[in-house]
Amino acid sequence: MDASASLPATAGHHDPHAHAGEHEHHELGWWRKYIFSTDHKVIGIQYGLCGLVFLFFGFSLMMIMRWQLAYPGQALPVIGKWLPYFFGPNTMPDGKMTPEFYNSLGAMHGTIMIFLGVVPVAFAAFGNFVVPLQIGAPDMTFPKVNAASFWAFGVGGVIMLTSFFVPGGAAKGGWTSYVPLSDIADKGPGFHPFLNGQTLWLLGFIFLITSSLLGAVNFITTIIQLRAKGLTWMRLPFFVWSQFVTAFLLLLAFPPLEAAIVMQLMDRTAATSFFLPAGMIVNGAPLHISGGGSPILWQHLFWFLGHPEVYVLILPAFGIVAEILANNSRKPLWGYKSLVFSVLVIGFLSFVVWAHHMWLTGMGSTVSAFFQTTTLLISIPSVIILSAFFISLWGGSIRFTVPMLWATAFLPMFGIGGLTGIPLAFNSADLYLHDTYYIIAHFHYIVAPGTIFGLFAGIYYWYPKATGRVMNEFWGKVHFWPSLICMNVIFLPMFLQGMLGMHRRWYDGGQGWTLSGEHIWGLTGFQWNTPISWAAWIMGLAQIPFIINFFWSIKHGKKVNDNPWEATTLEWTAPSPPPHGNFVTIPIAYRGPYEYSLPGREKDFTMQNEPVEPAERSRRAVEPVLVH
Amino acid sequence: MNNPPDISQDPAEHEEYAHNVQKHVRGYLTVGALLLAFTGITVALSYVDFGTRKANIGVAMLVATLKAGMVAAIFMHLAAEKRLIYRVLIFTGFFVLALFWLTYLAWYNPVVR
Amino acid sequence: MEIPYTISTRPDTGLWNAKIGIWLFLASEVMLFGGLFSAYVFLRLDAQPGEWPHGLLNVPVGTMNTAILIMSSVTVVLAWAALKMRRYRAYWWYMLATIMCGVIFLFVKLYYEWPQKFEHYGIFIKPGALEKYEQYLGNNRRTEKGMEPRIEISGHLHNPEALKDPNIKEYEIGLDPVFVDPNNPSNDRPHFLYAPPTDHIAKIEKEDVDRIDSFGPWHSAYFASYFTITGLHGAHVLAGVLVFIYMWLPVSKRLYQRNPEHLANRVEVCGLFWHFVDLVWIFVFPLFYLL
């Protein structure tokens, strides 16, 4: 059996006879094995590859936007001539970007990066591939539902991409799709009643939400029911805990947004007025609607998901970083119980903080005091988690493998992102900072040099488990250093631009704002757009070694054994790549997940499935400080 | 009322077990009849003037909650369900109430009306 | 490769996989309908006086539909009990009854309730012209009594061509009974029995009309919510009916013969979904039909 170029061989051809339990020995056809597979590893890789493609596409959208911000009104050289062939003739006439196209790029950059990029990779890809292996399970509890979840994601993604090519182009109302603008946008002459950007955005979203809900059910049930013998809750790797909480966030927070999306679809196609107040005048003429709707209602229902969504974006990265920090400092994670408790509290509180995205909607002091309080409270467990990570490094025997580079860089980057969020918890400070570049800098620090660095760390880390080979270390470093430097050149000045009052989503790069003529560090607010844009383009180039390394190493990477990082968790007891059914013998967990550097042992790591010897037991009685 | 226990394929166990389920069946029919009765009560009460419209809404919601409780407890076996399911549902209930209450609070407490 | 605990229970949780799965899914459905209900609350609170209509839905028909759904909940749990007792024949009949109830519910909704709304029109009178139509609205008495004013005259539109033709200057509407005798105290609250539009025709001049709309989703926030929630609920009923049909066809008999407990578990899981659908309706019915 030969592995196709883009999918590493996973199912069926390693150890076909050494399976635990009964197994029907029928060979699946190519389509059932690689495309419509129900195996969690194949599905995880499918999510991962699609997600990475979407991440790169969404990133490219931003790179195009950055031209307009640095050189507003100027024709984009070379690419500007053939982009209209791709996106439509009205998008960039003479290579110069129209405001509508800028808005489409902005809205779709956000939507694609979050829902087609980060969530599928962080939650679905890593979760699907790693979680069953880490808990010693043969697969997810509902393999067919798992496949359905992936294909729903696929359909949603295709619909979103198609929206670029319909008359009028893709959605333009921001990834937040605020009403009443999004209710009335993309309508009228030149637009199709159903096949327009905004309506397709809504439709695609329904499929993406369905995909996430199905995935969440699968993850939660699997973690509850299929943990191996001896793998108690407090012996779970922190990665599994973070995926568990993430799944609950998706399960319970997405549906109200789905309800709101159905309502917006009704507003757009069935002439309802869920979000349209009476007396609206559009293009000089009153709208023929019943009125009686409420624009704020959309914001409530959107942000009810929107806030837990940002925790969906960060928690898997926390999990990945935790695994890699412990592994590469050769000591247990510090404060495992605090970490678990914190991630549960974050999950809980994230449902009651959402209105801090709505400080400017005219909330009274009672309701805003409530949300300010909960928002400040939720920063506490986040700080606990970050602190525990930092402390975990103390006294460790640190080795800077490529995954460790990304994981250690994550820590201060997330720190900056998180801490810059604190002023935003106060509605007084946010009155000024809302919708400025400060906000963009804040959340990008968390997601970009935060989560995405975590995702890169995870890819380099678990690549050998999926393929049996490591990615090239030198090129991994070539990928890392420019990415780290560029991320900071891009986003650090944006804080200052925001404090100058420069508005987000403005097509002119902030020129229309007087304060953007003020100087910071030698450049005006507007002039900073230029180095930021160049850093973005260089960062785009820095991803090329990664892409080449990723595909080249599948066939030509250095072959390694089943546990090249000498890690302790259960996935490293399986063959690389694991066969269908995952384990040659079903593992039993005897100890915690981070038993590194146990005293009196030859190796500096002890795997979770290694039995506890009587001699060790009495020694452990003397030194109870070890892993919980 | 206990959830019918987990049983094997053993036919001998079925006899005793089938007898157990019979008792449950009567319970289901009773609850069904009660639900129909309460539906009629809901409709009748809606034509009674309880003072304000809010009061009428309150009464109707109370009856609806009672009916929903019966469906959940008896038909959906929640009364005898495992702790794990309760925990999931309690958190869900909390979050949906938070959604209701906080959006209402935001509506009730604007800067100016 | 077998996935453990698909039928037998895991000792520490006491549950089999699909049971957890369906409850998690139902939790998400609680949030979905919760989102819709919170929209209902928000929109109703925000409605101007007279904008949130009452008594426009057919209560006896709605009550009957409620009863049908309740009966289907009973039959589905009896179907499951029959399976647990290994009585396939009884299961088959109960399942058929459940399917029929679901189909009748959808039929009533799609072929009677909804279409009727699209033929019923409401004319919103401009605030300045309300005086002119006092004989139909009875607002003097209502203001005296502290009741919400009526701003809409509804009934059957006798000249629908007036909607498109700018040359026709007035609407001829066969009035609903309440507008024939607006000052009668018995018309202050909606009646239980549905009374169709009368033959008493009123002529409403177009220049006095704010807007005219049939009772579709475009009519008001009330009808927008009504059609959306009952539509989404109906979609869930349809999904349930389709799954039950699959569980009732001969393919289920084969599963029953191979592993009856597996079929019983599947029916239980689908039954839980069905009960939830019934549960949502228990709240939808009073909120839209009665209050």
Q: Mean pLDDT throughout A528-540?
A: 96
Report the residue from A19, A225, A252 with minimal CB separation from C27. A252
pLDDT the model gives residue A517: 78
In chain B, which residues have their Cβ closer than 8 Å to the Cβ of A364? 109-111
Q: Dump pLDDT digits (tens) for A117-163.
A: 999 999 999 999 999 999 999 999 999 999 999 999 999 999 999 99
Chain A 212-251, residues with CB within 8 Å of chain B CB atoms: 224, 248
**Given an 8 Å threshold on Cβ–Cβ distance, is B102 in contact with A297?**
no
Mean pLDDT, residues A305-328 taken together: 97
Alpha carbons A436 and A428: distance in angstroms, whole number: 15
ipTM at complex level: 0.95
pLDDT at B11 (0 to 100): 52
A50, A157 Cβ separation under 8 angstroms: yes
Angle formed at CA A600 by CA A595 and CA A602, multiple of 5 degrees: 80
Residues A33 and A587: their CA atoms lie apart, in Å, by 25
Q: How confident is the model at residue A617 (pLDDT cuts 50, 70, 90)?
A: low
* C115 Cβ under 8 Å from any chain B Cβ: no
Mark which residues 154-213 of C lie under 8 Å from B by CB. Answer: 189, 192
Is B82 near chain C, with CB under 8 Å?
yes
Chains adjacent to C (≥3 CB pairs closer than 8 angstroms): A, B
From the list C93, C52, C99, C106, the residue with the least C-alpha distance to C226 is C52
Beta bridge partners of residue C152, listed in sequence order: C124
> What percent of chain A is modeled with pLDDT above 70?
94
What single DSSP character describes residue C121?
E
- DSSP annotation of A522 reads T
The per-residue pLDDT for range B39-53, each reduced to its tens digit, is 999 999 998 888 888
- Residue A446 Cα distances to A154, A419, A451, A491, C134, angstroms: 26, 10, 6, 11, 63
The answer, yes or no, to whether residue A366 has pLDDT greater than 90, is yes
Q: What pLDDT score was predicted for residue B15? A: 59
C21 at the A interface (CB within 8 A)?
yes
Minimum distance, in Å, between the CA of residue A570 and any CA atom of chain C: 18
Tokens of A597: 């550097």
Which residues in chain C have Cβ-Cβ distances shorter than 8 Å to B95? 31
Does C38 contact chain A (CB < 8 Å)?
yes
CA atoms of B62 and B42, how far apart (whole Å): 10
Residues in contact with A617: Cβ distance below 8 Å, sequence separation at least 6, in sequence order: none
Taking only the tens place, the pLDDT of each residue in A288-301 is 899 999 999 999 99
Residues of chain A with Cβ-Cβ distance to B112 below 8 Å are 362
Q: Which of B21, B49, B67 is nearest to C78 (CA)?
A: B21
Question: Which of B96, B99, B107 best tests the C interface by mutation, with the highest count of C CBs <10 A?
Answer: B96
pLDDT of C15-52, one tens digit each? 999 999 999 999 999 999 999 999 999 999 989 888 89
Summarised one tens digit per residue, pLDDT across range A486-510 is: 999 999 999 999 998 899 999 988 8
Q: Tell whether the model's pLDDT for residue B5 goes beyond 60.
A: no
Is pTM, for the whole model, over 0.90? yes
Residues of B in contact with C286 (CB under 8 A): 42, 46, 60-61, 63-64
A256 or A24: which leads in pLDDT: A256
Please judge whether B46 and C290 are an interchain contact, meaning their C-beta atoms are less than 8 angstroms apart: yes
Of C28, C224, C227, the CB nearest to A273: C224
Q: Please answer yes or no on whether B107 and C291 come within 8 Å at the CB atom.
A: no
A256, A270, A271 member nearest C31 (Cβ): A256
DSSP C190: -
Which residue of A296, A355, A363 is in closest CB contact with B111? A363
> What digits encode the pLDDT tens for the residues A451-486?
999 999 999 999 999 999 999 999 999 999 999 999
Distance CA A463, CA A576 (A): 9
Dihedral in degrees, nearest 10, Cα atoms C265, C266, C271, C274: 150
CB atoms under 10 Å from CB of A351, counted, come to: 25
Chain B contact residues (CB < 8 Å to A): 84, 91-92, 95, 98-99, 102-103, 105-112
Q: Which of B22, B32, B72 sits opposite C279 (nearest CB)?
A: B72
A411 versus A283: the higher-pLDDT residue is A411
Cα separation of A599 and A620, whole Å?
Answer: 10
**Would you place residue C144 in the very low, low, confident or very high pLDDT band (cuts 50, 70, 90)?**
very high
pLDDT(A410) > 90 = yes
Q: In chain B, positions 15-54, which contact chain C (CB-CB < 8 Å)? A: 17-18, 21-22, 24-25, 28-29, 31-32, 35-36, 39-40, 42-43, 46-47, 49, 53
- Residue B18 — very low, low, confident or very high, per pLDDT cuts 50/70/90? low
Read off the pLDDT band of A513 (50, 70, 90).
Answer: confident
Distances (CA, A) of A351 to A5, A314, A344: 43, 15, 12
C120-125 sheet: strands from edge to edge: C201-205, C170-175, C152-157, C120-125, C209-214
A263 contacts in chain C (CB < 8 Å): 36, 39, 224, 228
Task: Give the best residue of C42, C186, C279 to mutate against chain B (max B CB count within 10 A).
Answer: C279
Cis, peptide link before residue A577, omega less than 30° from 0: yes
Whole-Å CA distances, A49 to A156, A193, A277, A320, A425? 16, 34, 44, 18, 36
C-beta separation of A536 from A66 below 8 A: yes
3-state helix, strand, coil in chain B (%, to 5): 80, 0, 20
pLDDT tens digit sequence for A426-450: 999 999 999 999 999 999 999 999 9
Given B84, B99, B109, which is nearest A366 (Cβ)?
A: B109
Single-letter amino acid, residue A611: P
Least confident of B8-12, C14-18, C105-109, C202-206: B8-12
Interface test with A, best of B96, B102, B111, B112 (most A CBs within 10 A): B102
Ordered alpha helix ranges (H), chain C: 17-46, 59-84, 88-107, 114-118, 134-137, 139-144, 177-180, 221-248, 250-258, 260-285
Distance from CA of C168 to the nearest CA of B (A): 41
- pLDDT (tens digit, 9 = 90+) per residue, B88-97? 999 999 999 9
pLDDT band at C219 (very low <50, low <70, confident <90, very high): very high
**B24 or A331, which is more confident?**
A331
Q: What tokens were used for A427?
A: 């509605």
Q: Which residue of C has its CA nearest to A581?
A: C1
Q: What is residue A599's predicted lDDT score, i.e. its pLDDT?
A: 87
Q: Which of B21, B32, B95 sits opposite C81 (nearest CB)?
A: B21
Residue C189: predicted pLDDT: 85
Average pLDDT of every residue of chain A:
91
Chain A's closest residue to B96, CA to CA, is A252
Say which residue, A620 or A126, is predicted with more confidence: A126
* Confidence at C61, pLDDT banded by 50, 70, 90: very high
CA-based nearest residue in chain A for residue C212: A290
pLDDT at residue number B7? 43
DSSP helix/strand/coil, A166: coil
Give yes or no for residue A622 having a pLDDT over 70. Answer: no
Contact across the interface for C15 and B82, Cβ inside 8 Å: yes
Contact A304 B99 (CB under 8 A): yes
Examine the pLDDT at A56 and tell me if it is beyond 50: yes
**Distance in angstroms between the alpha carbons of the first and the last residue of chain A:** 43
- Strand (E) or helix (H) holding A280: none
Nearest-Cα residue of chain B relative to residue A370: B102
Residue of C nearest to B54 (CA): C291
Mean pLDDT, range A189-194, rounded to an integer: 90
Using CA coordinates, name the residue in chain A closest to C225.
A274
Residues in chain A within 8 Å Cβ distance of C221: 273-274, 290, 292-293
**Is the per-residue pLDDT at A5 higher than 60?**
no
Using the beta-carbon criterion (under 8 Å), do B98 and A352 form an inter-chain contact? yes
What residues are paired with A524 via a beta bridge?
A: A519
CA-based nearest residue in chain C for residue A145? C21
